Amino acid sequence: MSELLTIDSIHVSYGNIKALKDVSMHVDQGDIVCLIGANGAGKSTLLKAIVGLEPLVEGNISLDGEVIATTQMSGSSRHIKLFRRSGAAGTSSLRTDQIAGLGVALVPEGRRVFADMSVEENLDMGAFLVRDEQLIAKKKEEMYDFFPILGSRRKQKTRSLSGGEQQMMAIARALMSSPRLLLLDEPGLGLAPLIVADIFDKIRIINQEENVTVFLVEQNARMALKASNHGYVMENGRIVLSDKSEKLLADEKVRAAYLGE
């Protein structure tokens, strides 16, 4: 199975604070891969780095075998060196919209919906790179079929939706761009257990039936590991464990630290 996302020895800092330290990992095409860890471990920072919201200090990130961001030394300063799909190099990182154009979509922590816009308008925002109006209309109907509650509330202001409904809408908004890689940051955060189970069922369907590769960051380690093929454990900005998810579920250290056993 080919690697869709490859992260090679990346470092990310906030001033003097080293948020990510020599992080290497990969996500294979067609898989669901999870990243678990405590609050403040660096999980969200990693997702932000993938979509160009946090610059790299060292290392590089590749999508489908092509380097999209890396660093090079020039005297005493570091410059992000970017390889576009044409192979031409630049001196600045890809913008987030350019990364989205390569087939990467992020559902951020806390959903980040446009509260004063309707459900339909939020979905339109997810298709901002799509120029085919018929395709946009088709994708919206697909989302309403997939999340029926959204179809019944398409004209409602998003702020009137429950937390679970907003999370469904945030996922639907990301799917409007027909991504190859879906990044999910804490999709179960603050939701009731039954709603979380429903969200994770939808994630499995998106992966299996829509052929969307999923990289999932989640504090609910048990749920994330059960839903995924492969898992990584992050502590203090470093990857400390990596294995098949079923093996991590059986690992005594993981069970003690993250499963409450």
The enclosing domain of 176 has a CATH number of 3.40.50.300
In a domain, 208, yes or no: yes
DSSP string, 235-258: ETTEEEEEEEHHHHHH-HHHHHHH
- Both structure tokens of 221: 């380690």
Alpha-helix residue ranges (DSSP H) falling in the chain: 43-50, 96-101, 119-126, 133-146, 148-152, 163-175, 193-209, 221-227, 245-250, 252-258
In a domain, 225, yes or no: yes
Q: Identify the DSSP state of 216.
A: E
Give the number of other Cβ atoms within 10 Å of residue 218's Cβ.
25
Predicted pLDDT of residue 15: 87
In a domain, 4, yes or no: no
In a domain, 16, yes or no: no
**Number of independent structural domains in the chain:** 1
Predicted pLDDT of residue 92: 45
- Both structure tokens of 218: 């989640």
In a domain, 84, yes or no: no
Give every residue of the chain whose pLDDT is below 50, as ranges. Answer: 73-92
In a domain, 245, yes or no: yes
Domain boundaries, position 248: 31-53+96-258
Distance of CA 89 to the CA centre of its chain: 26
Predicted pLDDT of residue 70: 77
215: amino acid identity, one letter: F
In a domain, 122, yes or no: yes
Predicted pLDDT of residue 131: 84
Predicted pLDDT of residue 192: 87
Predicted pLDDT of residue 113: 82
Predicted pLDDT of residue 261: 61
In a domain, 175, yes or no: yes
